[in-house]
Structure formats: C-alpha cells, structure tokens
Copies of this chain bind each other. A is one copy, B any other.
C-alpha cells in the first residue's frame, strides 16, 4: 500500500476505553507506518494517555465530545440521542470520506445500526452482516453473520454466502472457496424453512458459487468449508461458544501444568511450543469483526479486548482499506447478477 491512510477511532467504546484505544493505536502505528488517526472522545481522558506517546500524538487528530454510547444503551436510544457520540462521529468521518474506515469496541447493536444508516448497504445487499475469521485445523475460515441480524430469511442467507465468497477470495486469497450453511445436520432434509430455502437457492448456483451444503457446529473448527453462513443468532452463539470452550480448556491446561512438580518442569520444557499454540488460537489475534455489505469499512473490536487486540482490529480495517475490499466485493456481487434462480423444490423438515 502506498500513500497515507486515515482510520477513524471511537476512543470511548469498550470496557477499558479510552486506554486500550490509545495504546492499541500506538501499537498499530508501529505496524502500519503510513496510517494516521482521527480519534473521537473525551479529550480530558485521551490527552493524558498521549503524553508519553508523542509519535502517536503527531499522527492523531482528536475531536472532543462528551457523549458516549454505553454498552446497555438501546439501539433506538443510541440512534435518537447519540448524534454527538464518539461512535457516531467516528462513523460520520467515513461517510464524509475523511477516513477510510472506522473501528469501535463499543455497543455492537448501536454500531451496526449507526453504520447502516450513515454508510448504507451496497447495491444487492438488503442487510449487512458481521463477519470474522476463525482458526481451523485446515487454516482459516470466515463465518457470517455473527450477530447483526437475529432473524434472517433465505435471501439474507444467500447474500451472506455471496459476501463470504468474495471475502474469502479477496482477503483470504482462497481460490473457489467452499461455502457451508450452518445447520443441525448435514442431511438435505434437516433444519427450518429459511435454511432449507437458502440451500435450495445456493444449490442452483452451480459453478457460480461452490456450495458445499449444510455443515454442523463441529465443522467450523474442522475447516470443512472456507465460508460458514448462519443467521446472526446462531452465528453469535457459535462464536461465543468457541470462545468459552477455548477459555475452559486453557483453564484446565493451566491446572494440569500446576498439578505436580514434574508437570511444572514439563511446562517449562514445552513452553516454546505451547506459546506458539496459544498464539494460534489467541482471540486477540482474531479480534476485529467486519461489517460486510456497507459502502464503508467498519470494524467492531471485542469490547473486553486489550491494546494488542484493539491494534489487531485496526489492522483489519487497514487491510480492508488498503486492499480496496469494498470495491472488490461490489464487483464480486455484480458477477452474481447474471444468476437467475429457477423454481424451488424445498424438502420438508
């Protein structure tokens, strides 16, 4: 990438904001020397954090606002009363072409609603989706929707599949990515009406999209397909369940290594390999969920992440902007325009 790239940051979003935002931006600055920032939030709290960060300060324009969207703010309230919030102002910077993308660790629902209103959806997409990259036994897969749309119809699911396909091609570099629809069984007759109908559409696409069929929860980590499509409710449960299970095993593993002197010594010897493993599944490494289907780039960081995780979320926005992801996805979607679905035969549940 050449030239400079501006990223807008909601300095007040997240459990440990603005600290993790400022520290994360400073980490990202070292990784991406041509990036600069627009930071929105409480100047009184941001400036002290900048004191020892002269280089970050030099590439950051701070816009003060007192308004913050809290984690428990209802979406409707956020939209009505949050026009001067750090989140809304950061999004507006993308709409006004002052920034190439926005990153926030704040309230997901509010961020999605504001981004959708301010940035609008791409032609051919009715609803944007939240996508993230998952580590798998075979490498990496992308899953969407992770919570933007609690209820989805068949057409929404098909659009998610198309966006996921383009994402895997352009960002992950996968040739002819396979796409699976998350279900409670891989047999054709499984699942509810929406998922049945979506599968019927996707099966008709033939060469246009490499539809694998239904996949189950354990196929996510197995890497059975490059793209996993789900409604936002199911996708969110799968995402959070993955996080919880990983944390449980980490806890049990720590117990195992503390169970005896011999185990402690074993840990010391295996430490280097174990660290590599921990890095492979470090949730901070995979921090930064993308809002796909909007005309601007918006990345949601985990609310509880630290500076390293927030820096990675900035990295996702930088990658998407530098690779012209939104142009590619728009072009990719145009390729599907030729496809005309035929009459459907939907199997009964």
Contacts and interface: CB of A to CB of B under 8 A. Distances in A.
Interface of A: 72, 74, 109, 135-137, 147, 150-151, 182, 184-185, 187, 189, 191-192, 216-222, 230, 232-234, 236-249, 251-253, 255-260, 262-263, 265-274, 276-277, 280-281, 349
Given A147-B184, A257-B270, A243 B217 contact: yes
A116 B348 CA distance: 20
A283 to B, nearest CB: 10
The count of identical subunits is 2
Given A260-B273, A269-B265, A270-B256, A281 B240 contact: no
6 contacts: A217-B236, A217-B242, A222-B244, A233-B234, A252-B277, A256-B274
A270 B262 CA distance: 6
A349 B238 CA distance: 20
Of A189, A244, A255, most buried by chain B (CB within 10 Å of CB) is A244
A272 B244 contact: no
A237 B273 CA distance: 31
A182 to B, nearest CB: 6
The A interface is mostly helix, strand or loop, or mixed, namely helix
Given A137-B251, A253-B277, 12 more contacts: A136-B248, A137-B248, A184-B237, A217-B242, A218-B244, A222-B244, A230-B237, A237-B241, A246-B249, A258-B273, A259-B273, A266-B270
A221 B244 contact: yes
A277 B349 CA distance: 39
Contact of A266 (B74, B248, B267): B267
Contacts of A136: 248
Given A187-B72, A251-B137, A244 B220 contact: yes
